Structure 1
Amino acid sequence: MVMASRRSLALGLLFGLLSCYASVVPSVASSDGFLQCLSAAMPKQLLYTKGSPSFTSVLASSIRNAKFSTPGTVRPLFIVTPTNASHVQAAVVCGRRHDVRVRVRSGGHDYEGLSYRSERREAFAVVDLANLRSVRVDREAATAWVDSGATLGELFYAISQASKQLAFPAGLCPTIGVGGHLSGGGFGMLLRKYGLAADNVLDATLVDANGELVDKQVMGPDVFWAIRGGGGGGSFGIVLSWKVKLVPVPPTVTLFTVLKSADEGAVRMLTRWQQVAPALPEDIFITVRLHKQVARFQSMYLGTCDALLPLMGSRFPELGVNRTHCKEMTWIQSVPYIYLGPTAAVEDILNRTTSSTPYSKATSDYVRQAIAEDVWAEIFARFAKPEDGLMIMDPYGAKMSSLPETATPFPHRGGVLYNIQYMNFWSAATDGSAQTRWLRDMYAFMEPHVSKNPRGAYVNYRDLDLGQNVVVGNVTSYQAGRVWGEKYYGGNFQRLAMTKAIADPTDYFRNEQSIPPFSE
């Protein structure tokens, strides 16, 4: 790992190189100075300015929300595509020296696009980690080192090449970048068995606010705690790689999908699901997607169909799962099957591009008390409109209830029945106002039925409607940050802010929802 002597030597060379430009770069901060500074520390072909022929294509390569491809979007001055840690260090050092902030992008899935665009007119550069995507699996130790620029699909595939009975508990979408996913918590269909992706992080390498490359031991327990769910990529530094604990999975997992329309009793099924799903054994996960008045119950069970059917028959007979619903496969085969469809091959999860990038908006909630059946009937009525969106509901319980709220910055654990993600989509042919209004009306309608004081939200389903930072005296306001921060982090928000005050007291790493510094 990162040795102090190696780090000191690297930093000495880096600062020595940059100091060669101190006499020729004006003391007044400028974008030209930033570019000259970086050009001395890394190959020029890894830097893109707005005038570069490939600037637009490199920027668009990881834009997952088409509404941030429009001309009105505030774009970066530069894109930096590092191939090693020293390039990232140089971006931070040069950025601080010349008043150019950096935003870090791994997969570009941030729902508000904050990894590559800004709501404010400011000088910033994007550090795009797409070239830092190595995955190194240690099968015997059941661990892996994975770079932040790797996708979940690349991580899953590398694990499967080392062992068919090891996995990692992360999200479903294979193009999601590892860096952003882990820094926000991260979860998928192994959530109830093994917890969050961030719960399974053992170590990390981080470029901090001083441009130093540090590991878990050097960054200290508070920063290591903060980056595992506290939005480390946008607040505390740039995480380059993560050491993760791999988890065992059986040779066979079983998937099933059951569709229920309103006429087929979907309202009654959902009312029942919200009580049953969080209380089931940890080996089963049943998620629900609600769209166009149809509820889609999709499950993964860590075992065979023969073992699954008696469990469903005794615990959730109303759903009517039978042998025809069962699809047995390996865990790695389940990854493309669930997200890409039944004809997808395992190799398809290595594709870093997406077929389309629709315009979209999302937000989230947590439910702690079961919602009454008559309310579900009202919810279903809202899905009869042509501009309706999605509700995706993921059950908690099991492992999620066994860890304290302070285990990581992610606080939504004991007492949570399930998470709700609301989404809506539209194309360039419409302005999206009807779809956005539907989403906001649904969110307002749900207020009496979800968590309160604060109303919780999941940071990886980022929503700027929850609040935005206010900069006072060149430092983000803690009080303004609390408005959105306590929704994402609950009582952990203050500890995050206190850690920020130590790790990045001048608030260099910041965006519209980065952690503000706070000191008593």
Structure 2
Amino acid sequence: MALALALLGFLLCNTFLPSSASSDSFLQCLSSMMPSQLVYQQSSSSFISVLESSVQNPKFITNTTVRPLCIITASDVSHVQAAVRCGRWNGVRLRVRSGGHDYEGLSYRSVQPEVFAVLDLAKLIGVHLNPGEGSAWVDAGSTLGELYYTVGTTNPGFLFPAGACATVGVSGFISGGGIGLMMRKYGVGGDNVLDVKIVNANGNVLDRDAMGEDLFWAIRGGGGESFGVVVAWRLKLSKVPPIVTVVNILKTMEQGVADLLAKWETTILSPSLIPDLTIRVVLQERHAFFQTLFLGRCSDLLNTVRNVFPELGMTAADCNEMNWLRAMAFIYFGNTNTPVEALLNRTKNVGNHYFKSKSDYVRRAVGKAGWESLYQQWLSQNGNGQMILEPHGAMVGGANTNTTSPYPHRRGVLFNIQYGSNWCCDANGTMAAAALGWLKGLYGFMEPFVTSNPREAFANYRDLELGQNVVGRDGVSSYWNGRVWAEKYFMGNYRRLAAVKAMVDPSDYFRNEQSIPPLPKS
């Protein structure tokens, strides 16, 4: 550990200081260090199509968006190193993009005018593993769908616990902590990382041994883009039964959905609810969609649910038994006939639908009356609004949890809430105002039911309304101003994350509106 810290200290004493050279010098530097066809300048006819290639929210690709000087489509680690070094030498910052699901678009845009480039990792893809082995090296541009497909076809009997959306980038998922349907059994994504390769602020590639345990801890849920550019993850794979069961049950207000939600939330941390069972809930309009994933056969699932949640009325006819890979495809696409190869599709089809998301954590039951009011006053008034409830407990935050990553929302958390509101066809018009006003009202309504001091939020559901960094005269983000938003994402881990930032990137080169600031020396 001491040796690793000493090595980092040596590297930081030999950093390349940003110069006052022009943007042209940055572009010339890139052209001398990588193939020119990998760099798309604003004058390129393909610039817009490449910029929009993985954008999930079209509200951030309007004419008012602060756009990058260029897009670097790295296909090799050496290209990432070159981008970092050229950026440091010439005073051009990098925004790093993998899957493109960044809810505020900070991986490809800047809120304030500045000169920056996008480092797009979509070509840096690959999942490398051997049959029967319990780990895999995954390149940072890979998606969860690509990871699922390769593990499920090459190494059946193993899984990686991640999210339901196949087009999410593996790197972004892990960098924010990573919650999903299997975390009650296996922990969050950041808990399942064995090794990593990162390009630091000097353009050097470090593995776990070279970077030391502090940085290794930080990048697995503390906002990895704050500390460097991860180019590959070595992930722990866990064994999974040959057959798992997926059940989708829709209930309405008329069917007593408030009663069902009240019972659901009181069973989340019950000792009788085994980690093999996850029931997450999607709320929309007058409905609740109970989505169940059970790591076992239907018969065992029914026995468990009849004991802890008989009110749901689950029957054998509701069960879909399949292997884990098919289950991931079914959960994402909602169709048992969709081939698993569809998980490899990275094509985006967002159209003109814009959205805004927020998040919360719940540590005490909302209760029947609360759920009834929520439906009557808010959900039933907007068919385009949605809430997703992700159950915690067990390996995420149970009594025996071994907390190995910065994801802080653990012991005592019942569930996470993701709020969403979407609208069509204009980014800032009348429909946008109505949708955003509804979301603001819903978020305000939920305040008495969720955590406080701080009101916890999930880093992977990035929300600039929680606050933004303030850059001082020294060109470094303020640690004290950062507390406004960062303690909601990271809670008591924020100071430790800032200390790591000060150690590995004291000049704050890897910076955006919600990156971790360096901890001041005094």
**Given the two structures, how large is their TM-score scaled by the length of structure 1?**
0.93
Question: What letter is aligned with 1:384?
Answer: S
Query: SS of 2:490's equivalent?
Result: helix
**1:93 offset after TM fit, Å?**
0.8
1:101 aligns with 93
Question: What letter is aligned with 2:245?
Answer: T
2:365 aligns with 370
2:257 aligns with 266
1:137 aligns with 129
Query: SS of 1:51's equivalent?
Result: coil
- Structure 2, unmatched stretches of 5+, are none
> Given that residues 406 and 492 in structure 1 are in contact (C-alpha distance below 8 angstroms), is that contact kept between their aligned partners in structure 2?
no
> Given that residues 469 and 477 in structure 1 are in contact (C-alpha distance below 8 angstroms), is that contact kept between their aligned partners in structure 2?
yes
**1:28 offset after TM fit, Å?**
3.0
> Given that residues 387 and 438 in structure 1 are in contact (C-alpha distance below 8 angstroms), is that contact kept between their aligned partners in structure 2?
no
**1:278 offset after TM fit, Å?**
3.4
**1:386 offset after TM fit, Å?**
3.4
Deviations 1:106-134 (CA, angstroms, capped at 9, x unpaired): 01100000000010100000000011001
- Equivalent positions of 1:103-502 (< 5 A) are 103-232=95-224, 234-279=225-270, 280-342=273-335, 343-357=337-351, 358-381=353-376, 382-386=378-382, 388-402=384-398, 407-429=404-426, 431-473=431-473, 474-502=475-503
Partners of 1:406 and 1:283 in 2: CA distance: 20
Q: How many residues align?
A: 500
2:515 aligns with 514
Deviations 1:86-111 (CA, angstroms, capped at 9, x unpaired): 11111111101111000100011000
Query: SS of 1:121's equivalent?
Result: coil
> Given that residues 397 and 409 in structure 2 are in contact (C-alpha distance below 8 angstroms), is that contact kept between their aligned partners in structure 1?
no
Query: SS of 1:481's equivalent?
Result: helix
Query: SS of 2:455's equivalent?
Result: coil
Query: SS of 1:145's equivalent?
Result: strand
> Given that residues 405 and 412 in structure 1 are in contact (C-alpha distance below 8 angstroms), is that contact kept between their aligned partners in structure 2?
no
- Equivalent positions of 1:79-98 (< 5 A) are 79-98=71-90
**1:77 offset after TM fit, Å?**
0.7
Partners of 1:406 and 1:476 in 2: CA distance: 28
Partners of 1:44 and 1:346 in 2: CA distance: 36
Change (3 A) 1:328 1:143: same
1:58 aligns with 50
Deviations 1:250-299 (CA, angstroms, capped at 9, x unpaired): 01111111111111000000011011133310000000000011011010
> Given that residues 250 and 288 in structure 2 are in contact (C-alpha distance below 8 angstroms), is that contact kept between their aligned partners in structure 1?
yes
Query: SS of 2:254's equivalent?
Result: helix
Question: What letter is aligned with 2:416?
Answer: N
Stretches (4+) displaced over 6 A: none
Change (3 A) 1:27 1:175: closer
**1:406 offset after TM fit, Å?**
5.3
Partners of 1:271 and 1:103 in 2: CA distance: 43
Partners of 1:276 and 1:485 in 2: CA distance: 31
- Structure 1, unmatched stretches of 5+, are none
Query: SS of 2:328's equivalent?
Result: helix
**1:420 offset after TM fit, Å?**
0.4
Partners of 2:361 and 2:382 in 1: CA distance: 26
Partners of 2:510 and 2:20 in 1: CA distance: 20
Question: What letter is aligned with 2:362?
Answer: V
Question: What letter is aligned with 2:171?
Answer: G
Cα RMSD after superposing both structures: 1.9
> Given that residues 284 and 383 in structure 2 are in contact (C-alpha distance below 8 angstroms), is that contact kept between their aligned partners in structure 1?
no
Deviations 1:8-33 (CA, angstroms, capped at 9, x unpaired): xxx9xxx9xxx9xx9xxx96321100
Partners of 2:169 and 2:32 in 1: CA distance: 29
Partners of 2:274 and 2:320 in 1: CA distance: 20
Deviations 1:366-391 (CA, angstroms, capped at 9, x unpaired): 00000121111110111121365101
**1:408 offset after TM fit, Å?**
1.3
Deviations 1:127-174 (CA, angstroms, capped at 9, x unpaired): 000110011013333100001100100011110121221110011111
Query: SS of 1:203's equivalent?
Result: strand
Question: What letter is aligned with 2:435?
Answer: Q
**1:405 offset after TM fit, Å?**
8.4
Question: What letter is aligned with 2:512?
Answer: N
Deviations 1:163-189 (CA, angstroms, capped at 9, x unpaired): 221110011111111111111111221
Query: SS of 1:278's equivalent?
Result: coil
Partners of 1:115 and 1:338 in 2: CA distance: 27
Partners of 1:55 and 1:38 in 2: CA distance: 16
Change (3 A) 1:80 1:325: same
Partners of 1:129 and 1:482 in 2: CA distance: 30
